[in-house]
Each structure stands twice: as C-alpha cells, then as structure tokens.
Structure 1
C-alpha cells in the first residue's frame, strides 16, 4: 500500500504514517518498492513471525502475572464484601 492508502485507515496525518513507515523500514519489518511516482510498502511476514516468537517467552510471564493480579484483586474485593 502507499502511505496515503495506509493513512486513510488511521486517524493521523500522512506525515505521521510516513515517519512510522521509515522506522519500520529501518527495522526491516516492511519493504518499499518504487512504482512510477508512488512508493508501495509491504509487510515482511517472516520478520513479524520472528518478533512473535521472541515475544512468546514474555507472553507467558505476562499471562502468569495478570492471573496473579486477578487473584489478588478478587481476594481484596472479597475481603471488602465481608
């Protein structure tokens, strides 16, 4: 998609989208291809999978901690209701 096409899907300026695209390009999460006067951006799925795999180790920790927080909040709520 072009930056204009992407910007249409968000409540932000085209300049903000371009800035994000530049950073994503530097991180190799998107690639750009020039066609005439337009630049098209494409998501690099393999890079996203790599990030997802890396995040998985933290996801388990977060889920455990959120469950512990839920239990603590339920305990506090029950004590208030007694």
Structure 2
C-alpha cells in the first residue's frame, strides 16, 4: 500500500534530524542525515499502521494512495553534493 504522509524534519542540536507527521502524531523517527531519516520513515510508518490495525482504528482516508496506475504527485527532499 502506498501512503502520502506529510513529514516534518526538524534538525537536532546534536546533529541529525527528527521526523514527525502532523497527521499521524504517533509517527516518530530520526536519522543522522536527511536520507537516513527518510529511510527510517518506512519502518516508523509500518509500526503506526500496525498499531492502528491492532487498536481497530482507521488511518485518515486521504493518506492512502489507491490508484497507482496514474500520475502520482510527490514532494520530497533532494540534496546535491
């Protein structure tokens, strides 16, 4: 399943980034780099989805991307060397 989740990357004072989501307050992860933090989001989101299922809660409907045969709008962070 694909999900479109807004993410907030907050720099940590000791380095790295904390990642949260305003729509899923249970989603919390971090990484030493932007790339690592975004990679860790996959595991964090999987844990949130599992927790919602275990509690019988529905994720916000607009987070699910059900039609992947058409164009998908994606905003992401891209760094250059």
TM-score w.r.t. length of structure 1:
0.28
Between 1 and 2, higher relative CO (CA 8 Å, sep ≥ 6) is seen in 2
Question: Between Structure 1 and Structure 2, whose CA radius of gyration is higher?
Answer: 1
Which has the larger strand fraction? Answer: 2
